[in-house]
């Protein structure tokens, strides 16, 4: 404030605070980060000097009168609350960063997958397919918008369908995309076998791509995901797979939109928290300024009193009459009374301003506490939705990915082997078609309820997708894993599923595999157990197959 004597330590703290802000802005500019409120708040929140400055300002080493004890305690309490809120802000900023990284990884994966498929396709240089794929590759390298990519893919799809409608001659098929997605054309002698191999390869790649987008993002999203996954598996020709391109692109776009919406909501909340914290920091610094001003006022008043008393004392030693001494003392007492009244009014003014600032600060703290409680509850709910299947209540695909990575790391480091089971409910589509999805959901929940009691506490059961479930059996060899799989198969076979008095026959097909020394990634292990499960289905279903 104007006319106020500033404490050198406060001036030094303000100078250090300004230096840190300027340094942080230079770092953001050097790293090409946007100079936004969220980036500045995050960068400042990571610097311990900020908290140290606040602590130093609040705990300044100077004497305080007895009537300031309550104020000092209040400042200390406020300082602790501010530190807690700073830590919570840092945690929320880390969550936003994680979501941004996941969104960027998903976009990069989609572009990489499309670019790989485009590079693996070969056509004559003068063909329309060649030029369209060249345009797609350029768009991917240029990081074009999804709308431009979707338009290019639609042109490729229309050209493929147009070639397919030209009569299906051998020459037309060779010019189209059939047989050329993943490999060059085979000699005519083995063309049928090559087409079959290409179909299986393309089907496997599409299933791998769509598996990356299996997240619990609402019932409608899960239904679309399960439907598309089932249609890919039920396809028997490359034409049928290519016909699903639009649905796959739409699912990926919806996934990206949902991720962007969620990130936007969290970013908006972080910005609100950042604004509230900045306002609270301002109030806190004002309270520190008031405390410093009050301290200086007390020092000045004490000096005034000491000066007046010293003059009264000196007046008694000089050779003056009693009347003169009485008049001199009376005038000094009048001055002291006036100074006391001025001090009292000034203290009342400062106290009123302090109470007003503290009221605003307390209200901000209450609002912040409510918002943080809401975010914590939403975070817990989001964590449950992220790692648990909403229908069956068991871990989902994302939780399985985390657990299987941990088991593989233990297997590679400490040679701790484990077995993997994958089972699928036989003819489950017929259950949904004949009895409705509600009945199908009840059957899946009952299957899990029957299976969980026979599993060990260390075993891990998760819903992989749709009617597929995966089980990790740590420290279990091949024979024991086969015994567990057979027991599960018998439990489901003997269970009577009833719907409105009608018996629903249900069985499961189980694939079993065991870790091998050469296993280095989860894809190799899962493809092996997935192949075992489909061998069980081809063998007549309601079987257990070990590979």
Q: Are 89 and 273 in contact (CB under 8 A)?
A: yes
CA dist 125 and 447 (Å) reads: 55
pLDDT (tens digit, 9 = 90+) per residue, 417-468? 999 999 999 999 889 888 888 889 999 999 999 999 999 999 999 999 889 9
523 found inside a domain: yes
pLDDT by residue (tens digit) across 239-260?
A: 888 888 788 888 777 777 777 7
Q: What is the mean pLDDT of residues 23-30?
A: 74
> Number of folded domains in the chain?
1
Which CATH number do you get for residue 520? 3.30.70.270
Highest mean pLDDT among 314-318, 334-338, 453-457: 453-457
Structural domain contains residue 469: yes
The whole-number pLDDT of residue 84 equals 74
Q: Where do we find the tokens 């809120």?
A: 85
Distance CA 170, CA 485 (A): 48
DSSP state at residue 395:
B
Q: Which domain holds residue 433?
A: 397-546
Q: For residue 401, what are its two tokens?
A: 């990915």
Q: 462 in a domain, yes or no?
A: yes
Q: Does residue 451 fall inside a structural domain?
A: yes
Q: What is the pLDDT of residues 361-373, one digit of tens each?
A: 777 777 777 877 7
DSSP per residue, 487-513? HHHHHHHH--EEETTEEE---EEEEEE
Q: State how far the Cα of 214 lies from the Cα of 198, in Å rounded to an integer.
A: 25
Residue 452 inside a domain? The answer is yes
The secondary structure of the chain in percent helix, strand, coil, rounded to multiples of 5, reads 75, 5, 20
Contact 462, 397 (CB under 8 A): yes
pTM of the model: 0.41
Q: Is 463 part of a structural domain of the chain?
A: yes
Q: Does 461 map to a domain?
A: yes
Assigned domain for 50 exists: no
CA 26 to chain centre: 28
């Amino acid at each position: 404030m104007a006319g106020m004597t500033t404490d050198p330590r406060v001036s030094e703290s303000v100078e250090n605070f300004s230096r840190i802000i300027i340094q942080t802005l230079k770092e953001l500019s050097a790293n090409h980060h946007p100079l936004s409120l969220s980036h500045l708040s995050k960068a400042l929140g990571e610097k311990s000097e900020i908290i140290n400055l606040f602590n130093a300002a609040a705990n300044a080493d100077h004497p305080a009168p007895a009537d300031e004890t309550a104020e000092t305690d209040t400042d200390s309490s406020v300082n602790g609350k501010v530190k807690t809120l700073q830590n919570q802000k840092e945690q929320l900023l880390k969550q936003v960063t994680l979501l941004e990284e996941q969104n960027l990884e998903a976009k990069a994966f989609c572009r990489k997958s499309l670019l790989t498929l485009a590079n693996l396709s070969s056509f004559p240089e003068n063909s329309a397919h060649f030029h369209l794929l060249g345009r797609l590759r350029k768009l991917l390298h240029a990081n074009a918008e999804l709308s431009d990519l979707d338009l290019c893919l639609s042109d490729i799809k229309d050209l493929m369908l147009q070639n397919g409608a030209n009569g299906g001659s051998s020459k037309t098929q060779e010019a189209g995309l059939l047989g050329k997605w993943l490999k060059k054309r085979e000699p005519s002698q083995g063309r049928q076998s090559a087409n079959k191999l290409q179909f299986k390869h393309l089907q496997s790649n599409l299933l791998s791509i769509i598996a990356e987008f299996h997240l619990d993002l609402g019932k409608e999203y899960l239904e679309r995901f399960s439907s598309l996954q089932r249609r890919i598996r039920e396809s028997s020709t490359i034409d049928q797979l290519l016909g699903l391109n639009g649905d796959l692109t739409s699912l990926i776009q919806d996934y990206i939109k949902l991720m962007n919406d969620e990130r936007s909501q969290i970013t908006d909340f972080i910005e609100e928290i950042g604004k509230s914290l900045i306002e609270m920091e301002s109030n806190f610094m004002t309270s520190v300024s008031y405390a410093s001003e009050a301290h200086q006022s007390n020092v000045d008043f004490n000096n005034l009193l000491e000066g007046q008393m010293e003059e009264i004392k000196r007046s008694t030693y000089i050779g003056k009459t009693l009347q003169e001494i009485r008049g001199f003392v009376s005038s000094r007492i009048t001055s002291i009374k006036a100074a006391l009244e001025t001090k009292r009014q000034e203290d009342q003014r400062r106290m009123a301003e302090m109470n007003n600032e503290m009221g605003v600060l307390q209200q901000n703290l209450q609002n912040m506490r409510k918002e943080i409680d809401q975010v914590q509850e939403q975070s817990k709910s989001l964590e449950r939705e992220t790692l648990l299947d909403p229908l069956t209540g068991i871990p989902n695909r994302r939780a399985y990915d985390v657990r299987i990575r941990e088991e593989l790391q233990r297997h590679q480091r400490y040679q701790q082997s484990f077995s993997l089971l994958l089972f699928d409910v036989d003819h489950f589509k017929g259950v949904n078609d004949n009895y409705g999805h509600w009945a199908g959901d009840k059957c899946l929940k009952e299957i899990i309820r029957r299976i969980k009691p026979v599993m060990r506490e260390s075993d891990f059961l998760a819903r992989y997708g749709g009617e597929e479930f995966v089980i990790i059996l740590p420290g279990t060899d091949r024979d024991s894993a086969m015994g567990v799989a057979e027991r599960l198969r018998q439990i489901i076979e003997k269970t009577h599923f009833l719907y409105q008095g009608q018996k629903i026959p249900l069985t499961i097909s189980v694939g079993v595999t065991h870790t091998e020394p050469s296993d280095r990634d989860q894809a190799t292990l899962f493809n092996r157990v997935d192949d075992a499960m489909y061998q069980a289905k081809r063998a007549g279903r309601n079987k257990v197959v070990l590979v």
